[in-house]
Structure 1
Amino acid sequence: MAGIGAYLAAASVLAPRFGRGLYAWAAWTVVAALATARLGYVWENWPSFAPAPWRALAVWQGGFQPGAGLLGLAPVSAIYLRSLRSVAAGTAAAGGGLLVWRVISLLTAATLGQAAPDTLFEQLEGEPLAISDLRGRPAVVNIWATWCPPCRSEMPSLAQAAAAESAVAFVFVNQGESADRVRAYLAASKLSLAHVLLDRGMEVPRHYGTRGIPLTLFLRADGTLADMHTGAISDDALAAGIARLLKRPR
């Protein structure tokens, strides 16, 4: 979002000198690139979208195919960029947006590679467990709460994946709630989950330096953080994250 904002701002500043069409070009390239990138991603992951095609509109869940997005740039550029000066100005604006995106990407990826916490947490069923105890196989760690609507919306898919993926450990780290409340929610929702941890002090988000829930962490077999997904995770994004952990083709 910051990269797109910087791109549009740069185009707005350059437009008076290089032609008013420059800003229109920038705005329409954003629309076209996002639309074609999303369509490309949906096409690539169609088996996941086929049961509920409306999910293609849930762009807040993420999922864009960069190569397909580039296809959307060509027709818009052909309409608006009619001279070498305008092409140079458009390239400069795009470069500014890409620079901002890259810097923020590097900053937000700072916690990747971090080791799993050694803190023992009360487990809903079973002995206390630390996330670091899962070393030896890849793990998916979901940070959630019963009062969080996006958490509740993604939980059935996570439960289904946890039951189907024996090669990956799944851990559900509840934030700040009592065991009774969590049990009542799982019973009412007819969800059967193993490794439900009670993080009453919300230590896991502090350990990783993250904010907001739901949050899904993908841990390598050595316990280090390989990737993370903020917000409700879709079936396709979850499958892609697991495939990367297991280094298998999708």
Structure 2
Amino acid sequence: MNAIEVGPLVLSGERFAIIVGVAVFLLGSGVLASRVSARFNGWSTAAVLAGLGGARLAHVAVHWSYFADDPLRALAVWQGGFLWVWALPPVAVAAALMLRERRLMLWAAAPVIACALAGTATARLTAGTEPTPAPAMVLADLEGGAVNLATVDGRPTVINLWATWCPPCRREMPALARAQDAHPEVRFLFVNQGEGQAKVAGWLEEAGLEIDNVLLDRAMAAPRHYGAAGLPVTLFLRPDGRLAKVHVGEVAPEQIEAEIARLK
């Protein structure tokens, strides 16, 4: 499972890599501020904000069709979605404006490089996904039927682990519902964790969502099988039922589409 548990927090590998990279950058900038020039104090803060903003805006621009109906979702940085190469221009502009001297701008390259190396290494170390087969687990659906998670029908499968009490689960559910409608060639399973039929059906009706294959995992056995911590978790399975990718936390529409494309 490509997630890191920090006390009560569960961070995806991508988010943890960002935290590590920013921490290394600020540490390196702090050393430069104490030993080379105090100008690095202000520059480091501006560079972090400008770099994150530039990378996020680039992602939004590239995937604008997914943001056009809800532009404010660009602020939902907790969903992930950054094009890191576009962090460099605003960081360089901040260096030119705030450090001013060529000597200091050359020194500024050191924490930037250290940040890139630390973030990339962390992302690679946490990105591995074991090709775990689907569990031979039979779960009831909302209509009283039964579905075996291990059954394969030649289609890729997306399994969403969720609960009605989980705010990120509720926020991402409309995007997953739209993806289910748009991709009949993919099997979607919405595996509710620990709640009863009346609770789940009532919330779906209240939310105005019509979703197929809503399953009840009262014993919360699916997360144990996959080693998943926290909710929501979205699992992307190959046509043979083996795990290909795990997304921890709220998943964005463009991320759903990208992962489905990789499964085909």
TM norm. shorter chain > 0.5: yes
Q: Deviation digits for residues 73-113 of structure 1, max 9, x if unmatched?
A: 221233326345752x4343234333432343234324343
What is the Cα deviation at residue 204 of structure 1? 2.0
Equivalent residue number for residue 82 of structure 1: 101
Contact preservation (8 Å) 1:18, 1:86: no
Equivalent residue number for residue 3 of structure 2: none
Equivalent residue number for residue 196 of structure 2: 178
Equivalent residue number for residue 122 of structure 1: 140
Contact preservation (8 Å) 2:129, 2:245: no
Contact preservation (8 Å) 1:125, 1:195: no
Contact preservation (8 Å) 1:26, 1:90: no
User: How far, CA to CA, are the matches of 2:38 and 2:66 in structure 1?
Assistant: 42
| Alignment counterpart, residue 63 of structure 1, candidates 81, 97, 102 | 81
Distance 1:23 1:136, change over 3 A: farther
- Normalised by the length of structure 1, the TM-score is 0.86
Contact preservation (8 Å) 1:25, 1:81: no
What is the Cα deviation at residue 44 of structure 1? 0.9
What is the Cα deviation at residue 49 of structure 1? 1.1
1:121-200 equivalent positions in 2, closer than 5 A: 121-125=139-143, 127-134=145-152, 136-200=154-218
1:211 aligns with 2:229: yes
**3-state SS of the aligned residue for 1:41?**
helix
User: How far, CA to CA, are the matches of 1:123 and 1:6 in structure 2?
Assistant: 47
1:31 aligns with 2:49: yes
Quick one: higher RCO (CA 8 Å, sep 6+), 1 or 2? Answer: 2
User: How far, CA to CA, are the matches of 2:159 and 2:234 in structure 1?
Assistant: 6
Number of equivalent positions: 245
Unaligned stretches of 5+ residues in structure 2: 1-18
Equivalent residue number for residue 48 of structure 1: 66
Contact preservation (8 Å) 1:124, 1:196: yes
Question: Mean alpha-carbon deviation: is it higher for 55-64 or for 133-142?
Answer: 133-142
Question: Mean alpha-carbon deviation: is it higher for 48-57 or for 183-192?
Answer: 183-192
Unaligned stretches of 5+ residues in structure 1: none
**3-state SS of the aligned residue for 1:116?**
coil
Equivalent residue number for residue 248 of structure 2: 230
Contact preservation (8 Å) 1:118, 1:131: yes
**3-state SS of the aligned residue for 1:159?**
helix
1:17 aligns with 2:35: yes
**3-state SS of the aligned residue for 2:246?**
strand
Question: Mean alpha-carbon deviation: is it higher for 8-17 or for 169-178?
Answer: 8-17
What is the Cα deviation at residue 7 of structure 1? 1.6
CA RMSD of aligned residues (A): 2.3
What is the Cα deviation at residue 135 of structure 1? 5.5
Q: Deviation digits for residues 200-221 of structure 1, max 9, x if unmatched?
A: 2222222222221112122222
- Structure richer in strand, relative to its length: 2
Contact preservation (8 Å) 2:142, 2:215: yes
Contact preservation (8 Å) 1:15, 1:22: yes
